[in-house]
Amino acid sequence: MNNVNELLKEKLTAENYNKLIALDNPKMHDFVADAIELCRPASVFVCTDSPADRAYIRDLAIKNGEEIPLNVPGHTCHFDGYHDQARDKAQTKYLLPPGSQLGESLNSIEKSAGVEEVRSFLKDSMADREMLICFWCLGPTGSDFSIPCVQITDSPYVAHSESILYRPGYEQFKKFGSSPDFFRFIHSEGELENAVSKNIDKRRIYIDLEEDLVYSVNTQYGGNTIGLKKLALRLAINKASNQGWLAEHMFVMGAHPTPRRGGGRVTYFAGAFPSACGKTSTSMLPGQTIIGDDIAYFRKKDGQIYSVNVEKGIFGIIRDVNSKDDPIIYEALTGPCEVIFSNVLIDGAKKPHWLGMSAEGGELPTEGTNHSGKWYKGKTDSDGNEITPSHKNARYCLNIPDLSNRDPLLDDPNGVPVGSVIYGGRDSDTLVPVEQAFNWAEGIIIKGASLESETTSATLGKEDVRTFNLMSNLDFLSIPLGRYIQNNLDFAKGIEDPPLIFSVNYFLKDKDGKYLNGMADKLIWILWAELRVNGDVEAIETPTGLIPKYEDLEKLFKEHLDAQYTQADYVEQFTFRIPENLAKLDRVEKIYKEKVSDTPQIIFDTFAEVRKRLKAAGNKHSDYISPFDLTAG
């Protein structure tokens, strides 16, 4: 400890040394000292919870050229490198000691080799930059959900983003004392060229579950560098599995019926959707309230399941956000509050533009600055691919408290009681727009553990490929898949009335490829689910669950969207598709048989039972069953 203390005194100014040493945590001091010796920063800044320290980081991001001030006060724009625009799944790996395994679906590397490699890339990486030491809290502070975190980075953009996304943790660390139970993150952008990471071939994101530690180097994109986001989710899933709670890739929102259906009633929903599948827009539905849009922790208390938003901000995909479909977010993105845009187009007047920002499909500027540098319409990259004005995975980062629909229980240390869990993805031909599972177990297995989605631009690789995505959490799992499913199945034990589970599908298409759902329709599916949770409406039984009756949807469309919902609409959307559902079961079951060695037997038993129901319904009716025929039957 004396050697550590001497090093910290030598490398930090008196002011920063005093800030750090005020936190009496030897493990944290060791971590900082090791990072200083490894990365050799030119200087070190310790960020407390004070507004002055946060302002210093914001100003540094602009001074260093990582963020550009825009035409609205509080708004800035950040550009990642042209080839650093999404989560790098291939180079995000778990560091596993000899004899450990997570299953073939989870990416890993032998621990000693991985640590040696990533530390070699971090060595002397901050020689010409300032090291930022930041303290944040996952979950509300002063709560049994809270997890303290230390982020070390040389990117003021990363630190600035985290100051928006997470609750301050310096004072939390003071109360935390000398406990070694916290998450650690170390990140360096590496060598820069034109203010972006240069050595993308050496981009690495390595996760040490034994040490609750994440390394990230040679990258700037938020999904690879903002440690408390999906990187911390991986640590939390492992921690939750060991301690008997859940860490999920889910939004949390308050669903509010109309006054004549219950006045001030609010039912809290949690929902898991892969990126770019309507997750944020669902959490932001008109007339509803948002707790969080991305990551949630769940604990059991007093015979109920409670949840909190791990974050206090949103790092959302900006494509197609416009004043008609996303009025609350659009208001924040165009008003004077703190926002970081990333990889959008900036015009000469410092105004941001992005794909789909006009609900009417208006033209974007024909020139400006974007992630490729100076941009003009028709510009192509070195492979001849046309460069879009704003990247498809361009983002915004903002504070939830700056949104007019924030829920009053956003920071409640007790969390909110969960009434329902929803699973959704991009599915063009199989699932109906909304369906309730028969029970918790079938909900977890048929809705969550069988989730498939057509890929988007949020991850590297081809788009529009149907992929298996277990509970929308497959990319972030840090425990074997079978164990994760069993944890979810077991979580409802001891809960007399567990939350109802639903699937939703906003992306069903007709034979000509036209979407059958309007963008506003998702409000109706959620409000119908809210009525089901509270026992206000009946439902129709299908082989895989329960769907709405036509007359209930007709009323909801009229009441909330002032729209006529016809029987033809209903039949087209809610016709039950036997062949597609059977094919989906076959695809998913094959994955569990061939790639998941620890699959719980209940998975196969449930698949067999549902397959039996599907075939019986097909034999009784036809391959495609009108919901009115199900009613009659």
CATH of the domain at 133: 3.40.449.10
434 in a structural domain:
yes
Closest CA to 438 of 575, 541, 549: 541
72 in a structural domain:
no
Mean pLDDT for 447-473 is 78
**Residue 253 backbone dihedrals phi, psi, to 5 degrees:** -140, 160
User: Is the whole model's pTM more than 0.85, yes or no?
Assistant: yes
Q: Please determine, for residue 261, whether its predicted confidence score (pLDDT) is greater than 60.
A: no
pLDDT score, position 99: 77
What is the length of the chain? 633
Domain that holds residue 420: 247-312+408-632
* Same domain, residue pair 301 and 322: no
pLDDT score, position 23: 96
* Same domain, residue pair 349 and 494: no
Structural contact between residues 272 and 283, judged by C-beta atoms closer than 8 angstroms:
no
pLDDT score, position 632: 56
Tell me whether strands 466-468 and 373-376 are parallel, antiparallel or unpaired. unpaired
pLDDT in tens, 182-195: 999 999 999 999 89
- Active-site residue 277, yes or no? yes
CATH number for the domain including 366? 2.170.8.10
79 in a structural domain:
no
* Same domain, residue pair 302 and 362: no
Question: Lowest-pLDDT range, 352-361, 499-508, 549-558?
Answer: 352-361
pLDDT in tens, 347-380: 999 999 999 998 777 889 999 999 999 999 999 9
**Percent helix, strand and coil across the chain, each to the nearest 5:** 35, 25, 40
Q: Where are the alpha helices (DSSP H) in 166-278?
A: 170-176, 222-225, 230-243
536 in a structural domain:
yes
Please tell me the total count of domains within the chain: 3
Which of 402, 435, 465 terminates a domain? The answer is 402
pLDDT score, position 574: 98
* Same domain, residue pair 319 and 301: no
Q: Please determine, for residue 106, whether its predicted confidence score (pLDDT) is greater than 70.
A: yes
Give DSSP secondary structure letters for 102-139.
--TTS-EEEHHHHHHHHHHHHTTTTTTSEEEEEEEEES
What letter would DSSP give residue 387?
A: P
Mean pLDDT for 403-421 is 97
Could you count the other beta carbons within 10 Å of the beta carbon of residue 180?
11
Q: How confident is the model at residue 462 (pLDDT cuts 50, 70, 90)?
A: low
Mean pLDDT for 427-441 is 96
User: What CA–CA distance (Å, rounded) separates 181 from 187?
Assistant: 20
Handedness of CA 345, 162, 469, 527 (dihedral sign): negative
Q: How confident is the model at residue 326 (pLDDT cuts 50, 70, 90)?
A: confident
15 in a structural domain:
yes
The DSSP H or E segment spanning 422 is strand 416-424
> What residue ranges in 147-222 does DSSP mark as E strands?
147-153, 167-168, 183-188, 192-193, 196-197, 204-208, 213-217
* Same domain, residue pair 550 and 488: yes
Closest CA to 268 of 288, 286, 285: 288
CATH number for the domain including 512? 3.90.228.20
pLDDT score, position 463: 56
* Same domain, residue pair 257 and 391: no
Provide the β-strand partners of residue 206: 93, 215
Q: Tell me the chain's radius of gyration from C-alpha atoms.
A: 25
Structural contact between residues 459 and 475, judged by C-beta atoms closer than 8 angstroms:
yes
pLDDT score, position 456: 55
73 in a structural domain:
no
* Same domain, residue pair 239 and 342: no
pLDDT score, position 37: 97
Provide the β-strand partners of residue 76: 69, 340
* Same domain, residue pair 384 and 516: no
pLDDT score, position 1: 54
**Exposed e or buried b for every residue in 407-424, given b needs 16+ CB within 10 A?**
bebbbeeebbbbbbbbbb
Question: Lowest-pLDDT range, 114-118, 267-271, 317-321, 570-574?
Answer: 317-321
Mean pLDDT for 137-150 is 97
Mean pLDDT for 539-560 is 97
Mean pLDDT for 554-562 is 96
Going from the C-alpha of 347 to that of each of 70, 223, 395, the distances in angstroms are: 10, 26, 17
Q: Please determine, for residue 609, whether its predicted confidence score (pLDDT) is greater than 80.
A: yes
Helix (H, G, I), strand (E, B) or coil at 224: helix
Question: Lowest-pLDDT range, 52-61, 252-261, 352-361?
Answer: 252-261
Mean pLDDT for 602-629 is 97
Mean pLDDT for 272-287 is 87
Tell me what the pLDDT averaged over the chain comes to. Answer: 94
pLDDT exceeding 90 applies to what percent of the chain?
88
Q: Please determine, for residue 458, whether its predicted confidence score (pLDDT) is greater than 80.
A: no
Q: Which of 39, 47, 77, 277 is catalytic?
A: 277
Q: Please determine, for residue 460, whether its predicted confidence score (pLDDT) is greater than 70.
A: no
* Same domain, residue pair 398 and 522: no
Q: Please determine, for residue 158, whether its predicted confidence score (pLDDT) is greater than 90.
A: yes
Mean pLDDT for 163-171 is 97
| Three-class HEC string of 485-515 | HHHHHHHCCCCCCCCEEEEECCCCECCCCCE
361 in a structural domain:
yes
* Same domain, residue pair 386 and 531: no
* Same domain, residue pair 488 and 537: yes
76 in a structural domain:
no
pLDDT score, position 276: 74
Which of 197, 212, 244 terminates a domain? The answer is 244
Residue with tokens 């397959």: 611
* Same domain, residue pair 453 and 359: no
Which of 244, 260, 286 terminates a domain? The answer is 244
